[in-house]
Structure 1
Amino acid sequence: MTRVKICGVTDSADRNAVVTAGADAVGVIHGVPVDTPREVDEETAMRLVDGVPPFVTSVLVTMPTTVQEAVRRVDRIEPDAVQVHDGLSPAELGALDSRITQDIVAVVEANAPAIEDYATHADALLVDSVDADGGGGTGETHDWERTRAVVDSLDVPVVLAGGLTPENVAEAVETVGPFAVDVASGVEQSGGRKDHDAVGRFVRNATRAAGGAV
């Protein structure tokens, strides 16, 4: 069954709604240089992560410029996993892996030339539609068939993101066959505020989908 991560949670009410809906992971964004209504300060990130219950994965989503910066954020916030957008090379991800105990999710584009190098140093790859600053959450889909080829060619788990909604996530899962799907803006009522009904529909549609093309 495809797993589900709801990203860009900014308050406890939305976090609790995401958990109640049955999502497998809660994404909290902190330490990104791009302008997004989904980013929270360190204290809020710590509080949100701390309130994620057992058997649900808390994910710090961040864009560090150095390994040391990433380590400091992880040590302070203490998530179950860290999702790294841009900023670190594959070798630096390897260095980060040696300094933290959390799993690392590396964000890449489906046609990234170094995608196999990232796969070597990460516990999972998140294939997203990114903007010119390297940030995700664009609300734009990308070539799902190309992402399917990534899934077929790599051994690491692949997470599909980019433009997913409750209406298209089942088709995306059936086309790509990802380990998990990730959504932020596609389940919002406004920037940084989740639509709890949409979150529930997204989780149900993602987990009920066939799970990949044959």
Structure 2
Amino acid sequence: MTRVKACGTTCEDDLEAAVEAGADAVGLIAEVPVDTHREISPKRARSLAAAAPPFVTTVLVTMPETPAEAIGLVERVRPDAVQLHGTLEPDGVASVREAVDATVLVVLEAGETDAATAEAYDAVADGLLVDTPAVDGGGGTGETHNWEVTRELAAGLDSPLVLAGGLTPENVADAVRAVEPFAVDVASGIENAEGRTDPGAVRTFVERAKNVNVPIPRS
């Protein structure tokens, strides 16, 4: 069954909506150099991480310039996992992974990451997330990418793959069938007009992501 991460949680109501919908993880965005209404302070991120119930993974989403920045922020927020956007080299990611008591995910840019680069991060991360890149280097564009290319990339990797980029309740089932990811990540696709998590949208998204019959390849 495909797991679901609801990203961009900014308050207790967002957290409650995601948890009640059956999301497996929530994303807390802090200390990013891009303009996004989803960013919260490290203090609020820590509060929300502490408020999440057992078995719901809290994911700190950040864009550190150095391994030390990432390590320091993880120590302040205390999430279950950290999702690293940006330009940390594989050895920097390895340093973070060794230093923190959290799962380390690395974001790869869809269509921009070659196989050799993906393999280098695959060797040092606990999981890889493929997202549609923005001009500023962040994700959250609300745009899809070529799922077949992502499927081909994932086939050569050992780490669990998380699919992001323009996913909505309307297209998530097709995305899961096309890529067969370990998990899917959604932000704008479950937001209301005020940029908050819409309970109905996240519930539908989770239901459709988790109830896809992906054919099992014959050996």
TM-score, scaled to structure 2: 0.95
- Taking a change above 3 Å as real, the CA distance of residues 212 and 186 of structure 1, as seen in their structure-2 partners, is farther
The answer as to 2:121 corresponding to 1:118 is: yes
Q: Does 1:96 align with 2:96?
A: yes
1:211 to 207, 210, 214: 214
Find the residue that maps to 2:26 and give its secondary structure.
strand
Q: Structure 2 stretches of 5 or more lacking a match?
A: none
Alpha-carbon distance between aligned partners in 2 of 1:144 and 1:206, rounded to the nearest angstrom:
15
List 4+ stretches of structure 1 deviating above 3 A.
Answer: 211-214
2:163 and 2:146 map into 1 onto residues whose CA distance is: 11
Partner residue in 1 for 2:173: 170
Do 1:174 and 1:209's aligned partners in 2 also have CA atoms closer than 8 Å? Answer: yes
Deviation of 1:212 after TM superposition, in Å, equals: 6.0
Long gaps (5+) in structure 1: none
Residue 194 of structure 1, CA deviation? 1.0
1:141 to 141, 144, 162: 144
String of CA shifts for 1:60-92, please: whole Å, max 9, x gaps. 000000111101100000000000001311110
Could you tell me how far 1:213 is from its partner in structure 2?
A: 7.5
Separation in 2, partners of 1:23, 1:52: 11
1:154 pairs with 157, 165, 171, which one? 157
**What is the distance in 2 between the residues matched to 1:211 and 1:64?**
36
Where 2:168 maps in the other structure, the secondary structure is coil
Number of residues paired by the alignment?
A: 214
For residues 156-181 of structure 1, the C-alpha deviation after alignment (integer angstroms, 9 at most, x for no partner) is 10000000000000000011000000
Does the C-alpha gap of structure 1 residues 39 and 143 become closer, same or farther in structure 2, counting only changes over 3 Å?
same
Whether the 8 Å CA contact 1:3–1:181 is kept in 2: the answer is yes
Match of 1:195 in 2: 198
Distance in 1, Cα, partners of 2:125 & 2:77 = 20
**Alignment-mate amino acid for residue 169 of structure 2:** P
Residues 49-128 of structure 1 aligned to structure 2 (within 5 Å)? 49-111=49-111, 112-113=113-114, 114-128=117-131
Q: Is the 8 A contact 2:26 2:58 kept in 1?
A: yes
Distance 2:125 2:166 in 1: 23
Structure 2 residue identity aligned to 1:104? V
1:211, distance to aligned residue in structure 2 (A):
3.4
Percentage identity across aligned positions? 53
Q: CA deviation at 1:190?
A: 2.8
Query: Deviations for 1:137-194, whole angstroms, at most 9, x for unmatched residues?
Result: 0000000001111221111100000000000000000110000000000110035311
**DSSP 3-state at the match of 1:138:** coil
Distance in 2 of aligned mates of 1:125 and 1:47: 26
SS state at 1:37 partner: coil
> How far apart, CA to CA, are the structure 1 residues paired with 2:214 and 2:74?
32
